[in-house]
Amino acid sequence: MFNRRTFSRTVVGLGAAAASTAGPRPATAAPDSAAPATPAAPATPTAPGAPAEPAAAGAAFARPSQVRAGVLDIGYAETGPADGPAVVCLHGWPYDIHSFADAAPLLAAEGYRVIVPYLRGHGTTRFRSARTVRNAQQSAIALDIVALMDALGIDRAVLAGFDWGSRTADIVAALWPGRVKALVSVSGYLITDRAAQRRPLPPAAEHSWWYQYYFATERGRLAMEDRDHRRALCRLVWDTVSPTWAFDDATYERTAAAFDNPDYAAVVIHNYRWRLGLADGERRYDAIEERLAARPVITVPTVTLDPECDPFTAPGDGSSYREMFTGRYLHRTLRGVGHNLPQEAPAAFAEAVVDADRL
pLDDT at 149: 98
pLDDT at 198: 81
* pTM, 2 dp: 0.86
In this structure, which long-range contacts are made by residues 233-237, counting pairs with CB atoms below 8 Å and at least 24 apart in sequence? 233/94, 234/94, 234/259, 237/94, 237/211
The answer to whether 165 and 90 are in contact (CB under 8 A) is: yes
DSSP state of 298: B
pLDDT at 19: 36
pLDDT digits (tens, 9 = 90+) for 67-119: 999 999 999 999 999 999 999 999 999 999 999 999 999 999 999 999 999 99
Q: Following DSSP, what letter does each residue of 72-90 receive, concatenated?
A: EEEEEEEES-TTSPEEEEE
How is the chain split among helix, strand and coil, in percent rounded to 5? 40, 15, 45
pLDDT at 205: 83
The mean pLDDT values, 10 residues at a time, for the chain of 359 residues are 47 38 35 34 39 50 93 97 98 98 97 98 98 97 98 98 98 98 98 85 88 97 98 98 96 97 98 96 96 97 98 94 98 98 98 98
Distance CA 342, CA 110 (A): 17
Distance CA 106, CA 60 (A): 13
Q: Which of 230, 203, 100, 198 is nearest to 158 (CA)?
A: 100
Alpha helices, DSSP H, located in 179-323: 194-197, 203-208, 210-214, 218-225, 227-241, 249-256, 264-275, 286-293
pLDDT at 41: 36
Distance CA 49, CA 333 (A): 7
pLDDT at 78: 97
The H or E element that residue 172 is part of is helix 164-175
Distance CA 183, CA 163 (A): 14
Q: Which of 319, 81, 62, 98 is nearest to 89 (CA)?
A: 98
pLDDT at 9: 44
